[in-house]
Amino acid sequence: MKKLKILLLLLTVSVAGFYSCSDNDPVENEIVTSKSVALRTTLNEIKKANNISGRNANTPQDQLFCFQFVYPLTLSYNDGTVITVATEAGLLDILSAETETLFITGIAFPFQVQQEGAITTIDDEAEFFALVEGCGFNTINDDVLQFGCFQMIFPISVINSNGATIVVNTQGELESMLIVGDVVDLVFPFNVTQNNEVIEVNSLNELFDLYDDCDGNSGSCICTADYNPVCVQTANGIVEYSNICLAECDGYTQNDLVPCAPTCNITNVIATPGTCNTDGTYPLTVDFDYANTDSAYFSVYNSLGAWVGTYLLSDLPVTIPSYPSLGSASDYFVIRIGNNFDCNASQQWAAPVCQTSSGNFGDQLGTCFNIAFPVQIQSQGALVTANDNGTVLQYYFPAQSNIPAFVYPLTLIFNTPTGQVSVAVDNQAGLEAAIAANCN
C-alpha cells in the first residue's frame, strides 16, 4: 500500500491531571499525564511485534526496536485512570487487556528510554515523536492521507496550532493544513467508508487498528506495495487504489474500474539564482506551471534530499531568500506538489559558489561559545528540541548550511578572556555576526 509521507508532527498537546494509583493503593502526590500520539504509535508497534491479539502467554517476545522503556512508567487510560507499570511483561498484560472502550492514551513526562546502551530522558511529546519517527515506526503521520484503503467522510474537525477547532470540508483542505503543520489533533468521532460500508472511528486507538487492517496485519487479504493505480466509483466519489489487489480486497472487480482523475503534472520549471548572501546562502526564485491538483502547496527539496521549505502555489513565482549553497558551480532541486509523490519535477541551474565568514560552527560550538538550552531546530518540516551540544550537532549539515536551522531567538554564551558573555540573537544573520565578532 502506498504511503504518503507528510512533513509535520501530528501532536496531541492536551494535558490532564489525575491521581495515580498502583495496586489499588492511593498516593498523595498528583501525577500529571499527557495524551500522546507518540505513545499510542509505540504501543501499536509493540502490540504488532508481540501478536497481542492472539497472545495467550505472558512471556514477552524480543522487541526488535531501536529503544526500550526504562521502567517504571506512569500511563493513563482514556477514562482518566492513571496506573504505574513496573515491567515490560506488565505492559504487555495491559495491552492484552485493552478493549474498544478502555485503552491507554497518555504518559507522564519525563521518562527514560534505553537506546544502544545509552539512557535518554524524553521530556515532552516533541522529543518522543522525534524518537519514534527516527526508529521508523508507522505513525499516523504516515497513514492519515492514505486514501486507497478507506475514505474519510468530510466534513471532519481538527484542532489547529492555536487550539481552535476547525471544520475541514475536503481532502485538499486537510492536506494543505497538514503540510504547513497546522493540524495538532483530529477530533473524534468521524466516519470513513470502506467497501461501501460506513464505519465510525471513535479514537486514535480505533484509527490505528483500521490502518493495521489495511496493511494486512489482522486480515487475510495481503497485497504487494507496487504502485499501479486503479480507480472505482463510490457513493463518495472516485476512489484511487494503489493497485488492483487493494481494490479487490474491498470487494471490487475489473468491471467496477473507471478512469482515474487527470494526473497532476508540473511543467516549465525555472530556477533563477541571485548573488550570494553574507551567510553563505543565495536567493533562488522558483517558478513553474502545474495542472490537475487540489493541493494549495508545494515543497522544495535540495540535491541532498533535505527539505528547504513549503510554499503556496498561488504565490508563484516564489523567491527563497536563503537557499543553501553547496559550494559547487551547479545545483538542482526537486519540487513536489502537496503529498502526491507522483507529482514532482526537478530542475538544474548554474549556482553561485558562496563563502561564509562565520567559521566552522561544529568546531566552535563548545569551544568558543555555548548555547543556552533548550533550543528548537527545524528538521524535515518538524521541530526537534535540543538540550545539549551533541543533539545540536546531529542536525548540523555543513554541506547544506553553515548553521543548523534554529528557531530564534536564542542566546549564545561566549568564553572571553574576561569571562563569559551572553549575546541574544534574533536570526541566523545575527548568530553569524556574533560568532564572527567573538570567535577568532
**pLDDT tens profile 135-155:** 767 555 445 544 446 677 878
Do both 4 and 43 map to the same domain? yes
Q: How far apart are CA 295 and CA 312, in angstroms?
A: 9
Q: What is the pLDDT of residues 97-136, one digit of tens each?
A: 888 778 888 899 999 988 766 788 999 888 887 888 777 6
DSSP H or E run through 231: strand 230-234
Q: How far apart are CA 141 and CA 8, in angstroms?
A: 7
Do both 75 and 148 map to the same domain? yes
Do both 200 and 248 map to the same domain? no
Looking at the DSSP bridge assignments, the partners of residue 57 are none
In this predicted structure, the answer to whether residue 2 has a pLDDT above a threshold of 60 is no
- The least confident of 82-96, 137-151, 422-436 is 137-151
In this predicted structure, the answer to whether residue 201 has a pLDDT above a threshold of 90 is no
| In-domain check, residue 3 | yes
One-letter-per-residue 3-state SS of 59-79: CCCCCCCCCEECCCEEEEECC
At what angle are helices 125-134 and 37-49 packed, to 10 degrees?
Answer: 40
Which residue would you say has higher pLDDT here, 346 or 5? 346
3-state secondary structure of 135: coil
Question: How high is the pLDDT of residue 190?
Answer: 87
| In-domain check, residue 397 | yes
Do both 150 and 42 map to the same domain? yes
Do both 244 and 384 map to the same domain? no
Q: Hey, what long-range contacts does 306-312 have (CB within 8 A, 24 or more apart)?
A: 306/380, 306/397, 306/400, 307/7, 307/380, 307/381, 308/333, 310/7, 310/179, 310/180, 310/381, 311/286
Question: How high is the pLDDT of residue 401?
Answer: 73
Do both 78 and 147 map to the same domain? yes
Cell of 241: 487504489
- Residue in the block written with cell 511483561: 89
Which residue would you say has higher pLDDT here, 33 or 183? 33
- Provide, rounded to the nearest whole percent, the portion of the chain with pLDDT above 90: 12
- Residue in the block written with cell 535540543: 386
Q: How far apart are CA 87 and CA 71, in angstroms?
A: 6
| In-domain check, residue 69 | yes
Do both 234 and 273 map to the same domain? no
Which residues constitute the domain of residue 257? Answer: 221-261
Do both 243 and 229 map to the same domain? yes
DSSP state of 224: -
Q: How far is CA 140 from the centre of its chain?
A: 9
Q: What is the pLDDT of residues 351-395, one digit of tens each?
A: 887 765 445 788 788 888 899 999 998 876 677 899 998 889 888
Question: How high is the pLDDT of residue 270?
Answer: 95
| In-domain check, residue 355 | no
Cell of 272: 533563477
Cell of 73: 512508567
Give the number of domains in the chain: 4
3-state secondary structure of 166: strand
Q: How far apart are CA 70 and CA 159, in angstroms?
A: 32
Do both 213 and 231 map to the same domain? no
Paired sense of beta strands 281-291 and 265-273, if any: antiparallel
Which residues, in sequence order, are CB contacts of 305 under 8 Å at separation 6+? Answer: none
Which of 323, 350, 377 corresponds to the end of one domain?
350
| In-domain check, residue 424 | yes
Question: How high is the pLDDT of residue 8?
Answer: 34
Report field, pTM of the whole predicted structure over 0.85:
no
| In-domain check, residue 356 | no
Question: How high is the pLDDT of residue 80?
Answer: 85
DSSP state of 427: S
Do both 210 and 102 map to the same domain? yes
Do both 40 and 177 map to the same domain? yes
Q: How far apart are CA 367 and CA 415, in angstroms?
A: 8
| In-domain check, residue 298 | yes
Cell of 344: 514532482
| In-domain check, residue 74 | yes
Contact, 433 vs 412, CB < 8 A?
no
Which residues, in sequence order, are CB contacts of 111 under 8 Å at separation 6+? Answer: 69, 70, 73, 74, 121, 122
Query: Residue 70: which of 55, 92, 85 has the closest Cα?
Result: 85
Do both 14 and 128 map to the same domain? yes
Question: How high is the pLDDT of residue 26?
Answer: 35
Which residue would you say has higher pLDDT here, 33 or 380? 33
Which residues, in sequence order, are CB contacts of 376 under 8 Å at separation 6+? Answer: 383, 384, 385, 386, 406, 407
Which of 237, 261, 285 corresponds to the end of one domain?
261
